[in-house]
Amino acid sequence: MESPNAVKSSPLPLIPQTIEEKSERDKKIDEWLPVNADRSAKWWYSAFHNITAMVGAGVLGLPYAISILGWGPGITLLIISWIITLYTLWQMVEMHEMVPGKRFDRYHELGQHAFGEKLGLYIVVPQQVVVMLGGTIVYMVTGGASLQKFHDIVCPSCKKIRLTFFIMIFASAQFILSHLPSFNSISGVSLVAAVMSIGYSTVAWTASVHKGVQKNVQYTNTSTSTTDLVFNVFNAIGSVAFAYAGHSVVLEIQATIPSTPEKPSKISMWRGVIVAYIIVALCYWPVAVIGYWVFGNAVKDNILISLEKPTWIIAMANLFVVFHVIGSYQVFAMPMFDMLESVLVKKLNFKPSTILRFVVRNVYVAFTVFIAITFPFFGNLLGFFGGFAVTPTTYFLPCIIWLKIYKPKSFSLSWCANWICILLGMCIIILAPIGALRNIILDAKTYKFYS
- Residues 46-88 have pLDDT tens digits of 999 999 988 866 687 899 889 988 899 999 999 998 999 999 9
Average pLDDT over residues 6-32: 55
pLDDT (0 to 100) of residue 11:
40
**What is the per-residue burial (b if ≥16 Cβ within 10 Å, else e) of 102-113?**
ebbbbbbbbbbb
Query: Which range, of 25-34, 192-201, 338-347, averages the lowest pLDDT?
Result: 25-34
Can you tell me the distance from the alpha carbon of 386 to that of 127, in angstroms, rounded to the nearest whole number? 12
Average pLDDT over residues 422-436: 83
Which residue did the predictor score with more confidence, 447 or 98? 98
| DSSP sequence for 90-128 | HHHHHHTT-STT----SHHHHHHHHH-HHHHHHHHHHHH
Phi-psi region of 70 (alpha: psi -120 to 50; beta: other; left: phi over 0): left
pLDDT (0 to 100) of residue 266:
93
Note whether 222 and 297 are within 8 A (CB): yes
Can you tell me the distance from the alpha carbon of 231 to that of 226, in angstroms, rounded to the nearest whole number? 9
Can you tell me the distance from the alpha carbon of 239 to that of 328, in angstroms, rounded to the nearest whole number? 17
Residue 267: strand, helix, or coil:
helix
The pTM for the full model equals 0.86
pLDDT (0 to 100) of residue 446:
67
- Inform me whether the pLDDT recorded for 290 exceeds 80: yes
| CA 270, chain centre distance (Å) | 18
pLDDT (0 to 100) of residue 5:
45
pLDDT (0 to 100) of residue 89:
95
Neighbours of 374 (CB within 10 A): 13
Can you tell me the distance from the alpha carbon of 7 to that of 15, in angstroms, rounded to the nearest whole number? 15
Average pLDDT over residues 302-312: 78
Using pLDDT thresholds of 50, 70 and 90, give the confidence band for residue 26: confident
Neighbours of 312 (CB within 10 A): 10
Which residue did the predictor score with more confidence, 177 or 58? 177
- Percent of residues, the chain, with pLDDT higher than 70: 88
pLDDT (0 to 100) of residue 307:
79
In the chain, what is the straight-line distance between the N-terminal and C-terminal CA atoms, in Å? 83
pLDDT (0 to 100) of residue 274:
96
Average pLDDT over residues 316-338: 92
- Residues 121-146 have pLDDT tens digits of 999 998 888 888 888 888 898 899 88
Can you tell me the distance from the alpha carbon of 14 to that of 280, in angstroms, rounded to the nearest whole number? 56
